């Protein structure tokens, strides 16, 4: 199993570097590396060779043992993403971003989710409960693509007149937070075997969110106090936080009081930053370092697990759903910026900057499948399709149009 993971990691690193040389997102290479030695390629190779011939090459492909622990590894990567998101949000930034950024962090994602939920219900013949999961998997922008692109623009001084890159950076991080939180709520509804009425859902949603916030604040305050009482190496503190995040993930399934573990982890990280900035900066550096390896595993495992035949089968309808969803998101961006200081060209750039998808889709795309939800395989395939289509298109569009629209 360790050998198989090593091959997967090395291959995904090589593919990522090749794509980065071509000025494309490295994560596309990671996904393709997973596809090359994953389930799809394994089955195809078996089909075109005899058993004796296949035995000589079997060591190349991802083993079944890796697939068995893949959901846990992806959950670990998601926990790292949540901690990084929470540690990256401060009260000062929330106060600074202003009304346009606050609108951009809420309206576009909700518009896209609504459009995807309705269109997937009719085009893919899924229940609204299932399409709500798909909607919030799809309805998030990619920090892996957006953050480096916006930082490059800030370094060049492009768009600094009205600080457009900062607007996109601030609103995108909260956009992801909203999508992940609402995905967690929808996942709980799909796993709930009890009363599934709309009235029950409307009552349960605020309870889940409020409970998650309270748990996150309490755990965050506890961690800060513990850190001041006990002096440990920062690596041990990182491990303890990861274990705590894993505990919350699993406790959510058995908790008598409904709550979103995804939101709890983010709020816990936010509270740590608010209570002890120096400690949060140390943790942030540790999580950023850990993310380098987790990113390789996350995207390559998603590629290894995806059903390519199913992805091709839903390809045309999937593209229709993506396009409709992106139109909804684009309309949401333009509505968010009505009456703001940004001119027409800057608003168009914000629409383009909000196109790429990757990190969140890879992190939560396989959660429904791991949870045993019937449409989980389809949701995973749609998540991978959304990355393969929008990440390179969005990245190239930002690079081509940034200086033309923000000059």
Tens digits of residue pLDDT in 313-326: 777 888 899 999 99
Does the pLDDT at position 239 exceed 60?
yes
In the chain, the number of structural domains is: 1
Give the structural domain span for 71: 2-406
pTM of the model: 0.79
pLDDT above 70 covers a percentage of the chain that reads 92
Mean pLDDT, rounded, of the chain: 85
Question: Residue 110 sits in a domain of what CATH number?
Answer: 1.20.1530.20
pLDDT above 90 covers a percentage of the chain that reads 25
How many CB atoms are located within 10 Å of the residue 35 CB? 21
Predicted pLDDT at 225: 92
Predicted pLDDT at 71: 81
Predicted pLDDT at 159: 82
Tell me the helices (H) and strands (E) count for the chain, helix number first.
20, 0
Q: Count Cα atoms within 13 angstroms, Cβ side, for 314.
A: 24
pLDDT digits (tens, 9 = 90+) for 7-27: 888 899 999 999 989 888 888
Residue (of 402, 318, 320) closest to 361 by Cα position = 318
Does the pLDDT at position 120 exceed 90?
yes
- 300 vs 308: CA distance, rounded Å: 14
Predicted pLDDT at 330: 96
Q: What dihedral do alpha carbons 289, 290, 295, 300 form, nearest 10°?
A: 130
How many CB atoms are located within 10 Å of the residue 127 CB? 12
């Amino acid at each position: 199993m360790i050998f198989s993971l090593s091959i997967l990691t090395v291959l995904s690193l090589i593919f990522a570097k090749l794509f980065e040389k071509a000025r494309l997102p490295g994560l596309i290479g990671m996904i393709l590396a997973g596809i090359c030695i994953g389930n799809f390629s394994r089955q195809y190779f078996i089909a075109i060779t005899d058993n004796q011939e296949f035995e000589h090459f079997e060591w190349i492909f991802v083993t079944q043992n890796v697939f068995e622990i893949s959901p846990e590894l992806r959950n670990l990567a998601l926990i790292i993403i949540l901690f990084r998101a929470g540690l990256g949000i401060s009260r000062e930034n929330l106060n600074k971003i202003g009304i346009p950024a606050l609108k951009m962090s809420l309206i576009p994602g909700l518009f896209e989710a609504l459009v995807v939920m309705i269109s997937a219900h009719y085009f893919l013949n899924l229940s609204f409960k299932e399409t709500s999961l798909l909607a919030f998997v799809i309805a998030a922008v990619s920090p892996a693509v957006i953050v480096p692109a916006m930082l490059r623009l800030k370094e060049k001084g492009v768009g600094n007149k009205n600080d457009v890159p900062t607007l996109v950076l601030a609103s995108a991080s909260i956009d992801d937070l909203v999508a992940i939180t609402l995905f967690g709520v929808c996942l709980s509804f799909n796993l709930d075997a009890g009363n599934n009425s709309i009235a029950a859902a409307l009552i349960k949603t605020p309870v889940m969110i409020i409970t998650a916030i309270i748990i996150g604040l309490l755990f965050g305050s506890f961690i800060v106090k513990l850190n001041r009482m006990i002096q440990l190496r920062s690596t041990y503190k990182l491990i303890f936080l990861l274990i705590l995040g894993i505990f919350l993930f699993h406790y959510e399934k058995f908790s008598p009081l409904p709550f979103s573990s995804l939101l709890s982890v983010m709020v816990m990280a936010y509270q740590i930053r608010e209570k002890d900035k120096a400690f949060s900066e140390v943790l942030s550096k540790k999580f950023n370092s850990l993310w380098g390896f987790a990113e390789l595993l996350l995207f390559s495992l998603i590629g290894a697990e995806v059903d390519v035949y199913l992805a091709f089968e839903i390809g045309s309808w999937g593209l229709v759903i993506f396009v409709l969803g992106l139109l909804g998101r684009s309309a949401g961006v333009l509505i968010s910026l009505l009456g703001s200081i940004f001119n027409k060209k800057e608003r168009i750039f914000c629409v383009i900057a909000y196109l790429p998808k990757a990190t969140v889709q890879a992190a939560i795309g396989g959660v429904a499948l791991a949870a045993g939800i019937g449409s989980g395989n389809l949701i995973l395939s749609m998540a991978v399709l959304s990355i393969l289509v929008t990440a390179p298109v969005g990245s190239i569009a930002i690079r081509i149009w940034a200086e033309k629209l923000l000059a």
